[in-house]
Structure 1
Amino acid sequence: MLVLRVWILCGKTRRMSYILFPMLLAEFVSMYSKACAFCVRTSKITLRLVIVLLPTTYLTEFIHLGATLPGCYFITPVMRGPYFAFYAFPPLLVTFTVFMLTIYKCIKALRSDISADMPIITLILRDGIIWFIVVFGVDGTQMLVWATGRATLTQVLIIPSLVLYSLVASRVLLNTRSLSKSKECDEDQESESLLPRSPSKRD
């Protein structure tokens, strides 16, 4: 969603599409290849051909985290080493690149005094800052936990991170829809004001 916003903010040029969309594809491929590498290093895998090759691991080791976090959590040997921390690096790199492009284009537009697009630019800048803070806060903490923490802490932040990502993404989508609706209302009011008024009875 934010990548599409940046692409629109950059004027939907081909040069930016050749940069942004391959970057998203590279992020997906790198994370998927790392997940496959984890499976190959840790356990046997069964490859099923559906649309892509999906690894299915045989998880046989489960742990209890204690009284504060009830339930069982699976663990593999690769989660005990710092190598698993590199799994969060591609999202951090993509988020940082998109955030820097957002800051650059928004500041450039604000300096140009484009008053007509001010609400859109302000919304894109605000949502970009919030998304950057959330992703770097969550993924950065996860990298530290995976690299230096105990094996029992590897899954503590996975569910909270998914919740935060879903909340922020939903908020970004709702903000975009509310802005588009407000612009449509403003255009309707302007068109109504331009219509000729019928003469009153007093006239």
Structure 2
Amino acid sequence: MLANKRTDWLREFQTGMAVATVVMALVTLGVLAVGVVGLTGGTNAGTVQVRVPGTVADQPVITATEGLSDRAAVAADGGIDVVITDPTLGEYGLSLLTWLPGYCLIMVVTGMLFTMIRRARRTDPFTAATVTTLRRLGSVALIGGVAVQLAAMLANYALSGSVLASGTAGAFDYFPWGWVLGGLAAYTVADIMARGRRMREDLDGVI
């Protein structure tokens, strides 16, 4: 019988990060290509989606309630997706800010993870370089996650002026808890590894 081969989970994770980075890059390029074709070719591919709040200051932003019962209404903190057909170049640029920074942030994070794991598999994983990369990863996730969400909110607010007769209105979708928790987790692991390195160095000095 063949001996059981131990799974190299670091290698599997490294492969996953590489695949995720490539897939995100291809998806980003594909969406950009569709948008460019729509803007330059005059096809229906050139559309922009905007999320507007259902109500602002207890006043309905969009009064159409077709399909809802008499006792139903759009939630005050809810959002309604609206599509702009034949967008201008400025509207398309604002639309990019609602999703492109997020895609780029994911590619940066997965790329950093791929590089860190590859280095850890080739050398000693408990090195100062790994600790530094984890701390940088935490900073990128924390600062980048909040910045991406803020950029998307501001761009969406500006775009709402193209679809609302009453002016502009912004919809706060969510707080980037995933990025914040991921960044804090990276900082925590980095500090644990740094403390482990110091303990190992102290032990080596005693021996």
* TM-score (normalised: structure 1): 0.35
* TM-score (normalised: structure 2): 0.35
| Structure with greater proportional helix content | 1
Of structures 1 and 2, the one with the larger relative CO (CA 8 A, separation 6+) is 2
